[in-house]
Structure 1
Amino acid sequence: MQKLTVDGQRIVNEDGAQVILNGVNVVCKDKLKGYVDPCEESLFTWFHEQGFNVVRLGLIWDGVEPEPGVYDNDYLRKIKQQIIWAEQNGMYVFLDMHQDLYSSLYSDGAPEWATFSDGLPHVVGSIWSDAYLESPALNRALDHFWDNAPAIDGIGLQDHYAAMWKHAAQFFADCPNIIGYDMMNEPYPGSRGQEVFGTIIAAYAQTVMGATEIDMEQLSALWFDEEKKQEILVGMADMSIYRVLVESAREASQVFEREVLAPFFNKTAAAIRSVAPDGFLMLETSYFANMGVESGLELVRNSEGGVVHNQVFTPHGYDLVVDTEHYEIYNQDRVDLIFANHRKVQERLNVPVLIGEWGAFTNHPATFELSKGVISIFEKYLWSNTYWCWCDGFKETPYAKVLNRAYPQVTGGVLAGYHYDYDTDVLKVDYIPSGDETLIYHPRAATLSKEDVVVSGADSYQVELRPSIDSEGGIVAIIASQCKGEISVTVGKSTLTLG
């Protein structure tokens, strides 16, 4: 498989062709399963048939380093088998060091030996993520991690983490389809998060409730009351209010990213790059950017202060109703704001974007249209993405039908724009051709003929259909003559009537 590199805000292959990565998360957070989803190569074959060309594959610190300085290579070999299956099906992989609620004691992530709660109680919220705001034990454990407190062997927790990443990266160094390293899933600030949350609650009290005197304990309790929480979420549908709330939290969240997260990424990246010098460094934001707080993320720098090459911005984006069935108050305007703020960060950093997580949808019928709404954003910004998450029953869900979409996997030239019409199965792609091959995945490629592919604006071009053997999908390959202006390609049965 061709190596991928960064060219400004584009991901390109060895031929200089622009690549869009489109795929899914495969992350096992269950310790009883050994942090590895039981599956076979057929799963990755199915992914390939769906047009996926990348997998965000989860690692768990507790699985990699069950004891201080002791690494479980049997666990890593099981992960490597999945990487090999992905390669055999033409798919790239980037590794995600996953955590939720920091530790395996509370959910998944750090081993018990790296979890120091000082005897404080752990509190479980009505939604799993509420524990970030409610649990003293969890926040104390995170504070110790961000402070690089020494483990029982005297080595700092962050130093252990970086060394663990170095071991994992070296273990997988012979896997040619690994393209990058997602250094930590959704970093949460620990007790500093209370300040971020506090600014949001205070802004809500002033903006919505007209409060002049603010009782933070009383106001916070409203969020943890399920009925009151739904009322608050309905109120946050007013975008003039919601913008005030996320803006209020911006500085407190960015202080953590600048002062704590950036040095942590620098340290971890240096360990990874010492054994894997060319893979993407995947940069995640503070947890609060998931809801639309603009990130202050900085690029990784080396020990001399220079910006390190091959970095990709990999934020997440979820509406506030995530992990619930309250799709009646899902708000596309909030989702648009989240990704618009990610776009601002991309333009500031001038790197490619791969949305590492989005969706987390249930089997609710509404998820079909909601998924189309998010995909349209990725089309507009020419972003790559990995959907969260592969699960039992995935194939039968409404959103799975949306994920099986037409898109330009590899553009021989500079991609200007594209859009897939789900109603007509027609894909339109605009790009400036370089004379190299363009590869378009289409979910109905096996039903198409060359007459269903129309190229406008090129002096000459060639079309080749490469349908899959066991599915309707496949590749439409196009080589168009090099030119300075844009050409347009439409692929689909309706192109005859359109033309």
Structure 2
Amino acid sequence: MMYVRRIAMKKILMGLLLAAVTVVTACEDTETMAVTGSYFKDAAGGVITFRGVNMAGNSKVPDFMPIKSPEVLDPLPGWGINVIRFLFTWEAYEPERGEYNREYMEYYKNVVDWAWERGIHVIVDFHQDAFSRFQIHGCGEGFPEWAIPPEVSKDTPCNDSSCKIWGAEMIWDFDMHTCWNRFYLDKYGVRTSFLEMVDSVSTEFGDHPGVLGYDLLNEPWGDEIDEIAVLYEDEAEIIRGNDPDSILFLCPHALISAGNTSELPAMSFGNYVYAPHYYDGSIITINMWLGTSPDASLDKQKKKADAWKVPIFWGEFGVNATALGGAAYMDLFYAWLDRYHVSGTQWNYTPGWTPEKYDGHNDENLSIVDDKGKLRANYRIRPYANRVAGIPVKFQVDRKDSGALKVFMEWDHDSSIGETRIFLPREALFGDVGYTVASSGSYLTYAYDDAGLYLLITSPVSERKSITITSDNY
């Protein structure tokens, strides 16, 4: 039976009364997150979906500290962002071997605090691309200059428009591959220094409630079985000694972001997720989407997570804001995330974007905001199931070109877990148009939170339930 918005007041009051104790219990501790099967779950057992951004494109270059004030994070909750994959640059933290830069650490900690004050989790992302700014003609980033082997020539960093095809250049760059080879062999102790750096960072954040976990190394090169996996095992042992409850995010080999198959094996430790990246080849090379659905490539990576019995988390995806067809491609990508109740962080949020330097690194132009802080064509506010009290079954958003939309959600409700939350910002999505709610299931009650961002749904009866929210102009 379907129940429309004008539910009998008696049923609403009864439902609220019976659910009250459950909701209070569910909200006692939702800060501790853990991996359970293919889901992220909070301490009460609610299934959590994370939707967020990488921050920031210009974090890769000096002064490495682009987030200058907490106010630049203010818009994010209203856009549905509840997690930031926050780039951590080793070169910035240890510019001289054995000497950690406290100014950089204090900067990083401040931003983590600012995010958490706004209810946003942070993934500490040990980030690099092509090893170092002193490699592939000055177009890489991440590892400090002193980490380059003495037999390898150093390039002058530039990270400007001359680096436009850096992703292709690194494939054939012999010096860069030599750097990775010496790193894994620990020939000059660089691998040891890297692990010492990881130890230092995880010690700093071991008791921070806002740190969701650590991305162990962004887009690494090396043999996935004999080198990358072994490094991850070593990192995990160190991090878990400092931050036992942290979730670890495992990025496969750099080339997997082009849709290749990963050979990364399952790990011996627990509480981790498979965190690949994906970028459409035509959009990256010719700035045009040729109409190929991303589904097949995304399905391929999900099979690995399913085999490991862990969640998949898309650590990076996105498009140039000027790409022809880019917005339609992103709609398909997010529809896939909704279909499988998957979390991810889009690349990227760069508050310091400019029309001249774009994201501030290698002529990339993927920031979701412009120089005025306004959203660009590659990102739009989207509903999603932020928390499910039970097991999600289906979540689907149908949106017309006019902006009119219909949101459908179905789940197996567990009344002991508390409330279900749908990110559904009332003003941004409905404005003055209005909406209608229809539902199935016993004693289902719903109301917006005080900020008008989340629809909160409760029921004292455990059973399969559904809810449909339709704008009046649909």
Does the aligned pair in 2 maintain the 1:166–1:271 contact within 8 Å? yes
Cα RMSD between the aligned structures? 2.3
In structure 2, what is the equivalent of residue 115 of structure 1? 148
- Structure 2 CA distance, aligned partners of 1:332 and 1:379? 19
- Structure 1 CA distance, aligned partners of 2:460 and 2:168? 55
- Structure 2 CA distance, aligned partners of 1:28 and 1:455? 42
2:397 matches 1:417: no
In structure 2, what is the equivalent of residue 487 of structure 1? 465
2:207 matches 1:174: yes
Question: Does the residue aligned with 2:471 lie in a helix, a strand or coil?
Answer: coil
- Structure 2 CA distance, aligned partners of 1:350 and 1:43? 37
2:292 matches 1:332: yes
- Structure 2 CA distance, aligned partners of 1:46 and 1:31? 23
2:149 matches 1:128: no
Does the aligned pair in 2 maintain the 1:290–1:338 contact within 8 Å? no
Q: CA deviation at 1:137?
A: 1.6
* Residues 32/398 of structure 1: CA separation in 2 closer, same or farther (3 Å cut): closer
Count of paired positions: 409
Does the aligned pair in 1 maintain the 2:434–2:471 contact within 8 Å? no
- Structure 1 CA distance, aligned partners of 2:308 and 2:118? 33
2:413 matches 1:433: yes
Q: Higher helix fraction: Structure 1 or Structure 2?
A: 1
**TM-score where L is the length of structure 1:** 0.77
2:335 corresponds to which of 372, 376, 382? 376
Q: CA deviation at 1:431?
A: 0.4
* Amino acid of the structure 2 residue aligned with 1:480: S
Q: CA deviation at 1:314?
A: 0.8
Does the aligned pair in 1 maintain the 2:61–2:141 contact within 8 Å? no
Q: CA deviation at 1:120?
A: 4.6
- Structure 1 CA distance, aligned partners of 2:382 and 2:424? 7
1:454 corresponds to which of 426, 438, 443? 438
Q: Superposition pairs for residues 266-305 of structure 1, below 5 Å?
A: 266-301=233-268
Does the aligned pair in 2 maintain the 1:462–1:479 contact within 8 Å? yes
Q: CA deviation at 1:143?
A: 1.2
* Residues 389/459 of structure 1: CA separation in 2 closer, same or farther (3 Å cut): same
- Comparing 138-147 with 37-46, greater Cα deviation is found at 37-46
* Amino acid of the structure 1 residue aligned with 2:442: D
2:47 corresponds to which of 8, 13, 18? 18
2:92 corresponds to which of 63, 72, 86? 63
1:351 corresponds to which of 310, 329, 347? 310
Does the aligned pair in 2 maintain the 1:358–1:388 contact within 8 Å? yes
2:271 matches 1:315: no
Alpha-carbon displacement from aligned partner over 1:147-176 (angstroms, at most 9, x marks no partner):
2222xxxxx221111110110111122321
Does the aligned pair in 1 maintain the 2:134–2:145 contact within 8 Å? yes
* Residues 159/443 of structure 1: CA separation in 2 closer, same or farther (3 Å cut): same
In structure 2, what is the equivalent of residue 231 of structure 1? none
Q: CA deviation at 1:105?
A: 1.1
Q: CA deviation at 1:31?
A: 6.2
Q: Which runs of 5+ in 1 are unaligned?
A: 151-155, 190-255, 302-307
Question: Share of identical aligned residues, percent?
Answer: 23
Alpha-carbon displacement from aligned partner over 1:57-94 (angstroms, at most 9, x marks no partner):
01011112222222112101111111111111111111
* Amino acid of the structure 1 residue aligned with 2:65: V
* Amino acid of the structure 2 residue aligned with 1:340: D
Q: Which runs of 5+ in 2 are unaligned?
A: 1-29, 157-161, 354-368
2:384 corresponds to which of 407, 414, 418? 407
Q: Superposition pairs for residues 191-206 of structure 1, below 5 Å?
A: none
In structure 1, what is the equivalent of residue 182 of structure 2? 144
In structure 1, what is the equivalent of residue 322 of structure 2? 363
* Amino acid of the structure 2 residue aligned with 1:452: T
Higher relative contact order, structure no. (Cα contacts within 8 Å, ≥ 6 residues apart): 2
Q: CA deviation at 1:142?
A: 1.4
